[in-house]
Structure 1
């Protein structure tokens, strides 16, 4: 009897996580589908535009994910308040999150407007840089809307009510295909913008989603106890801002490190020409889609762990965290195997160009290989954030992903020392180093999570 109780408890928590994770997964897939649509449609416009898209996306994603990661501090904060029954304090935190989003929007938009400074690192052709610059300057207009929507998303996820977020994300996806077709290829009197056309579509959709989200908050009875509207003007509270930033900056840095270690691969691979970077872009796009499954499970797990911590139940929090990590790892391994066997069909769904297919095909070995480590590290990182722990994980990310992943990839892929095996020169070297670094992150974060959970159960951790 006693040996069966932990298994039953684990299944129970896995079921709770799955019920919360599936709308998160669908919503995230809807967002990623926008990138898939961009890649597939632009690849049919020209290889030059696809290469420019890869460069532009690598920088935009790095900026957006880093800044939205700072806002990620809202999720465990609201989750713990909700778990503790302190609903009246949630509205204040959300309003402070909106002020923080304003500040981050200004910073991020300035970075994107001055993108040529960063694109110079790629040493790409002037044509690639020109198109990528235009793409990024258009995306700068979308950034405020996406960050304000991130606050809305964090609120709903922390309350374990993500279905409305999912509905809005699906609505945005429905608009993406016709807007892309019109703006990339031209029509109705508009010229063909090529790659930058998908940035215009993204900007329009981002603002429509953000406006719809906050209209729902203003109108629906669900949000009335939070007193977000009708309670008067609330100025920025420097105490609240410091608290959010103390947790949010390390989270944002870890997001930034994780994404740049991945996306800067495109910047370096661009030195090898348009075909290698196009093959990398397709592979990276598939990897991003697969990442949404463990990311959704990680976010759901983090919400339930934060609520348990807020309610003072540290043992329950530990069990939920363990169940979430196991669920993410198990499903990701299965999907990795399936992708390996279907790799050629997947690539040809992106592009009919046999040269680009040949460039992408060898990279899918790494897509299948790193699923285990990637799912483990992201779920563990989110569980740590539920405990409001982010500094040490950020250090682990920096040392491994930048040092081993990006640094090792540079040495293998570009072979500046002339010592890399021929099979690992080019994109394969970058992907191998990245995969190994993710394994190191997973091991390091798991070890640290055990330390944090033990401290929490002894009452030594301030949350």
Structure 2
């Protein structure tokens, strides 16, 4: 395949894949932590799995939005490197750390104060809202640590050093698994079990993750040359761009993840088993999504560098390669998950009623894997090319205007249940992929050669 490509295309493909695979594994590691929690808790009790899902839903809104707000750290670090201003990268990282601490504290406080109140008042069945409050508050306490680790990972990825973040993430996953096995069954001697225990395991893993990454960064041989220890001079242009990229990405992420969290509420209106089934499908889909998410980060780094160097041809190559590789990978994953759906669901639960709902929903979910992957890569390529607000507008339309009402309509009035929620996601993903890919083609063509 690579022999048929032009030399510059082969070089960009090698760089994309070299950067992408550790980033993909790191992103998969993020969701594997949630998967580990879900599997261990699901084996303990189906109701505890529903509580864990309901706690993750509002937490994920804050986490994902904050990750988007920090995305300027990666984009501007890579752009400065493309401009030959490597010594200013440390200033971007320092600002990213300040943002991450601020966002983490604000998010934690908001979840602790408003989360339990909101869960009780959304009309869930069987007291699910009240019982989900405790695990939600534990997750909230871990947010400041996690967001600092995100800023560190984005910085390392922009430097083309994604492997330390990957190793740190998987070491944290190992710790999370051990803590889950110890705490969730309620035999540890500590007064926790079930969903709350799983959230404390996540807290410990996130704390370990941030310590590892910060120690690695300050010990890098070129840390001083990058300006990490030097108080940066004010560069309002770079500051504004870092802030603008973050706000645009954060708004997009907020719309998308809020829409998916709202689907958990729709599932809650259907019943406890439906919440658990949607939690499993959503968790698996999110793990799959981490593959294109990682490729979007790698694509964004290459596009940012090309944009910083005023290299139109390089920008187009990076975008086309990122979209093509992502589409192919997502298709392969869909073709594996489809026939293996029953086996995969069996890892989560052996409850026959839950399996009967979750298996067909997961099979149906494979229909949006490719479109969902393409849209996230196209959106990141656009932000990296300084087209910040169009991706946000397109996400508002696709997930706010299209997905949310369609999923509700299919699931409840039309009586399709969890399958109806998935059909809404399929339609929204196709719309988003078409709009964002078309926008990237237009932006790339308009860039001066």
- Calculate the TM-score normalised by the size of structure 2: 0.95
Identify the residue that residue 335 of structure 1 maps to in structure 2. 333
Matches within 5 A, 1:218-257: 218-229=218-229, 231=230, 241-257=239-255
Which is further off, 447-456 or 241-250?
241-250
Matches within 5 A, 1:22-421: 22-113=21-112, 114-120=114-120, 122-125=122-125, 127-229=127-229, 231=230, 241-415=239-413, 420=414
Shift of 1:252: 0.3
Q: Is this contact kept in 2: 1:122–1:268, CA < 8 A? A: no
Equivalent of 2:436 in 433, 436, 445: 445
Secondary structure of the 2:225 match is helix
Which is further off, 22-31 or 440-449?
22-31
Identify the residue that residue 454 of structure 1 maps to in structure 2. 445
Identify the residue that residue 431 of structure 1 maps to in structure 2. 422
Q: Is this contact kept in 1: 2:316–2:444, CA < 8 A? A: yes
Q: Is this contact kept in 2: 1:184–1:198, CA < 8 A? A: yes
Shift of 1:202: 1.1
Q: Is this contact kept in 1: 2:93–2:155, CA < 8 A? A: yes
Q: Is this contact kept in 1: 2:43–2:348, CA < 8 A? A: no
What whole-Å deviation, never above 9, does each CA across 1:189-231 have from its counterpart, x for those lacking one?
21342101111111122112112211122222142311313x3
Shift of 1:41: 0.8
Shift of 1:188: 4.1
Q: Is this contact kept in 2: 1:76–1:387, CA < 8 A? A: no
1:19 aligns with 2:18: yes
Q: Is this contact kept in 1: 2:76–2:238, CA < 8 A? A: no
- Calculate the TM-score normalised by the size of structure 1: 0.92
Which is further off, 183-192 or 352-361?
183-192
Shift of 1:116: 2.2
Shift of 1:313: 1.2
Secondary structure of the 2:187 match is coil
Shift of 1:8: 5.2
Q: Is this contact kept in 2: 1:76–1:388, CA < 8 A? A: no
Identify the residue that residue 461 of structure 1 maps to in structure 2. none
d(CA) in 2 for partners of 1:44 and 1:307?
Answer: 46
d(CA) in 2 for partners of 1:118 and 1:381?
Answer: 31
Shift of 1:83: 1.4
Shift of 1:154: 0.9
With over 3 angstroms needed to count, the CA separation of the structure-2 counterparts of 1:155 and 1:269, relative to structure 1, is same
Q: Is this contact kept in 2: 1:47–1:278, CA < 8 A? A: yes
With over 3 angstroms needed to count, the CA separation of the structure-2 counterparts of 1:130 and 1:240, relative to structure 1, is farther
Shift of 1:276: 0.8
Shift of 1:7: 5.1
Shift of 1:14: 2.4
Shift of 1:5: 7.2
With over 3 angstroms needed to count, the CA separation of the structure-2 counterparts of 1:7 and 1:371, relative to structure 1, is farther
Q: Is this contact kept in 2: 1:100–1:241, CA < 8 A? A: no
Which is further off, 304-313 or 428-437?
304-313
d(CA) in 2 for partners of 1:186 and 1:172?
Answer: 22
d(CA) in 1 for partners of 2:425 and 2:253?
Answer: 15
Q: Is this contact kept in 1: 2:88–2:227, CA < 8 A? A: no
Q: Is this contact kept in 2: 1:96–1:237, CA < 8 A? A: no
- How many residue pairs end up in the alignment? 446
Secondary structure of the 1:225 match is coil
Secondary structure of the 1:370 match is helix
With over 3 angstroms needed to count, the CA separation of the structure-2 counterparts of 1:266 and 1:34, relative to structure 1, is same
Which is further off, 448-457 or 343-352?
448-457
Give unpaired runs (5+ residues) of structure 2: none
Shift of 1:118: 2.8
Shift of 1:241: 5.0
Shift of 1:280: 1.0
Give unpaired runs (5+ residues) of structure 1: 459-463
d(CA) in 2 for partners of 1:28 and 1:6?
Answer: 29
Please tell me the root mean square deviation across aligned C-alpha atoms, in Å: 1.9
d(CA) in 2 for partners of 1:174 and 1:144?
Answer: 21
What whole-Å deviation, never above 9, does each CA across 1:267-296 have from its counterpart, x for those lacking one?
111111111111111111111111121111
Which is further off, 334-343 or 212-221?
212-221
Secondary structure of the 1:312 match is coil
d(CA) in 1 for partners of 2:107 and 2:51?
Answer: 20
